[in-house]
Amino acid sequence: MEILLISEYFLLVALVIFLISSMRVISYKSVAMGLIGTSSLTLAVTIILVVAGTVLGLGFFKDIALALLLLGVVGTIGFAMVLRRQD
Amino acid sequence: MLEIINPSMVSLIQSIIIILSGLVILIASIGILTFDKDMPNIVYVRIHVLGMIDVAGIVVFLALGQYMFAVMYLVLAPFLAHAMANAYFYGEDDYNTLYADDMVEDKYAALNAPDKLDDDAVEDESGEDADSAEGNADETASENLDSGDESND
């Protein structure tokens, strides 16, 4: 088994743990915590899709990851602006 | 020299970078949960930790050859962190917002206090007289003020 493949599987395990911790951060009773957790969840899913696409050799995983990365950032900034104007 | 860099060497370097990034992500994701939730400024702490995971993600993108992802997220991540911190500061952060409001109110109160303004004006005029009388620099204006008062007495 190649070392690159092993390292990619190790990264996938680390990202799944990061995904679980992001879900825990989302569950805190604060809007800002929800923002932080959602942003980190988006990043985790994006990296998982890119790594899985590399491991499995599927090209459209990267397209989905690209859309998720852009829309996640735009959504987080948009919601942060709404929260900022709440006062 | 270039013979040293063969495909297996590149693969090894990629593997080391990916494993190190995975370790960083693992440590940060465990650490982000172990902070006390009643700690002051916990949201800013979590945003800071998230910045470390952002950098690890960018390094992973570079190691996997996805340069467009890396550059895109390198540009977007600071805006994201600033937007979240800004929203929390003006939306929910009572402690720091009140502290900042008190600072602003104290500053305006000091500027608009009529007694303090009159005292400042008197001190400035006396300082100018003392400077003109003795010809010293502005740094010794207060000393000149004292000596001028004594000479007047």
Rounded Cα distance between B29 and B56, Å, is 12
Element (H, E) at B5: none
- Contacts with B50 from chain A: Cβ below 8 Å: 36, 39-40
| pLDDT class of B122 with cuts at 50, 70, 90 | low
Query: Tokens 């402690």 map to which residue?
Result: B95
Query: Tokens 């002051």 map to which residue?
Result: B40
How many other C-beta atoms are found inside a 10 Å radius of the C-beta of residue B16? 13
Q: pLDDT tens for residues A34-69?
A: 999 999 999 999 999 999 999 998 989 999 999 999
| Predicted local distance difference test score (pLDDT) of residue B7 | 72
Q: Which of A4, A7, A35 sits opposite B87 (nearest CB)?
A: A35
| pLDDT class of B94 with cuts at 50, 70, 90 | confident
Average pLDDT over residues B89-111: 72
How many other C-beta atoms are found inside a 10 Å radius of the C-beta of residue B99? 11
Chain B within 8 Å of A22 (Cβ-Cβ)? yes
Chain A within 8 Å of B22 (Cβ-Cβ)? yes
Residue of B nearest to A18 (CA): B29
Query: How many residues comprise chain B?
Result: 153
DSSP string, B19-59: HHHHHHHHHHHHHHHHS-TTSTTHHHHHHHHHHHHHHHHHH
Residue of B nearest to A26 (CA): B33
Rounded Cα distance between B123 and B1, Å, is 75
| pLDDT class of B41 with cuts at 50, 70, 90 | confident
Contacts of B131 (CB under 8 A, 6+ apart): B138, B141, B144
Is B19 in contact with A18 (Cβ distance < 8 A)? no
**What is the interface pTM, i.e. ipTM, of the complex?**
0.91
Substitution target in A27, A36, A54 with the highest count of B β-carbons within 10 Å is A36
Q: How far, rounded to the nearest angstrom, does the alpha carbon of residue A57 sit from its chain's CA centroid? A: 20
Chain B within 8 Å of A69 (Cβ-Cβ)? yes
Is A84 in contact with B90 (Cβ distance < 8 A)? yes
Q: Where exactly are the structural domains of chain A?
A: 3-9+29-84
